[in-house]
Chain A
Amino acid sequence: MLILNCPYCGREKDETELAAGGEAHLKRFGPGSSDQDFEGYLFDRANPKGLHFERWRCAAGCGKWFHAARCTATLEVFGTYKAQTLEPPKTIRDAITAKRPGWSWRNFS
């Protein structure tokens, strides 16, 4: 059972109390963007085997969206952080580096 700590309400929630929201830090493209950018925003996904950044919602709790850094191969959770950011905060990056030196994910490392 996957357990994540909601960074807003501070409660530990298991996956039945959460809603998974897919890949995090997607750059949004809308009307007027190129077909390629729009396709990438809607469909192309990193889908890595390993470190992944993703969105979750504290569905049965405070209801807020937050982000998590998690390994898709081992289900290890490196940390969760608030969604009002365009990139993972330094504390999360350091926590990942401590366990996975040399990591990279899309443009982050």
Chain B
Amino acid sequence: MKRNSVFAVAREAMRQHSGWRRTWGNPEPKKLYDVIIIGAGGHGLATAYYLGKNFGITNVAVIEKGWLGGGNTGRNTTIIRSNYLQDPSAAIYEKARSLYEDLSQDLNYNVMFSPRGVMMLAQTQHEIRGYQRTAHANSLQGVKTEFISPARVKELCPIMNIDGPRYPVLGALWQARGGSARHDAVAWGYARACSDMGMHILQKTEVTGITQQAGMVTGVDTSRGHIGCKKLGMVVAGHASAVAEMAGFQLPIESVPLQALVSEPIKPCMDVVVMANTVHGYMSQSDKGEMVIGGGTDAYNAYTQRGSFHHLEETVRALIETFPMVSRLKMLRHWGGIVDVTGDRSPILSKTPLGNTFINCGWGTGGFKAIPGSGWGFAELMAKGESPLTAEFGLDRFRAGRFIDESVAAGVAH
């Protein structure tokens, strides 16, 4: 693969851009791979990448039912932060955030990581206490966050109305090195690097069954025939329960739609990411100028990739009070993604009851920010059978009662 650089751009400009190559290959499946990853979203591709980079395992196929990065990787609101309360969460999310810092250089592909700062608004007394506690916990975990005053909030985000009658801003948890990145580019960059290492990315290949012998996985049946493997990783987010059922086990997961929407593009007006958890509204401005808005999840299971309209209405109603200037914005697009929510709102990165099969799921409403750390830890788990990053995220924690209870910590899904 030719390296992307300013010289490459100049060179191609001189020859009518005839020298660009496909970003990733489109190979025919082999009969047998060392590792098969089901799901070519961010987490699956990152897992494959770190299997190759950190452990030299490159006889890998990443199998995708649809198109690469077309699930939740392409549907989220691209917020990156690591201000979690519990130690295992802070460790894996901060690993991810720190990997994002130089991911563009590592992948030689511009993922447009923008550490513009993330603030989580405290709009009730309960939230003030909660976020102050999180800020103290983060200090102990080595994650740089601070609790800031309403005046500082206004200074960082002048378009905000901090004196709203119903949702006043009483302070915020501020992570200056949080931010955002281009979600598609994260998937494309990992895919390009994987393809460059000789891995196979098999798009439009649906897994229809998982074959096993004597309690060990032997391969997967797909719409393009049977493909053998020595190890299997399932990284399919909202459809984790369906794939696990093929392998013969059940998961502590429920799949619900989560919605987002974007406005028409406007001039730059907001250079931070703002999250208002009390009202379930998240907002940032994309490089194109669109206001990117994330809402809440539906209360009932569904796989429809669209959500209930009243959730959208509630999100927008609350945001209009906090950001009066958005009240006349036209919304251009609206969509939903299917998020896999666990009982304690923390992910599952684990061995499974089926031998040599591993699962990475349960990221719920906040998986994008974790992509590099999740891939790093899950690759180590698959290669070595254990990883310090994933040790606490096993499936067995639900039986043992060792929850990583971010649900209570945040007071909301997140």
- Chain A interface residues toward B at CB < 8 A: 1-2, 15-16, 19-20, 22-23, 35-36, 39-40, 42-49, 52, 54, 72-75
**In contact, B250 and A46 (Cβ under 8 angstroms):** yes
**In contact, B300 and A2 (Cβ under 8 angstroms):** yes
Residues of A close to B250: CB separation below 8 A:
40, 44-46
B332 in contact (CB, < 8 A): no
On chain B, which size bracket covers the interface?
Answer: 20 to 34
A42 to B401, CA, bound (A): 11
**In contact, B239 and A49 (Cβ under 8 angstroms):** yes
Nearest neighbor of A15 in chain B, beta-carbon distance: B308
B119 in contact (CB, < 8 A): no
**In contact, B302 and A72 (Cβ under 8 angstroms):** yes
**In contact, B299 and A45 (Cβ under 8 angstroms):** no
Residues of B close to A20: CB separation below 8 A:
299-300
B254 in contact (CB, < 8 A): yes
Apart from A45-B254, A47-B254, list 5 A-B contacts with CB within 8 A.
A20-B299, A36-B399, A39-B252, A45-B251, A45-B252
A-B contact count (CB 8 A): 66
Nearest neighbor of B308 in chain A, beta-carbon distance: A15
Known A44-B250, A45-B250; contact A75-B304, beta-carbon cutoff 8 A: yes
A23 to B310, CA, bound (A): 22
**In contact, B302 and A1 (Cβ under 8 angstroms):** no
Residues of A close to B254: CB separation below 8 A:
22-23, 45, 47
Nearest neighbor of A22 in chain B, beta-carbon distance: B254
Interface residues in B239-297 by Cβ distance below 8 A to A read 239, 241-242, 250-255
**In contact, B252 and A1 (Cβ under 8 angstroms):** no
CB distance from B267 to the nearest CB of A (A): 36
A2 to B300, CA, bound (A): 10
Residues of A close to B241: CB separation below 8 A:
45-49
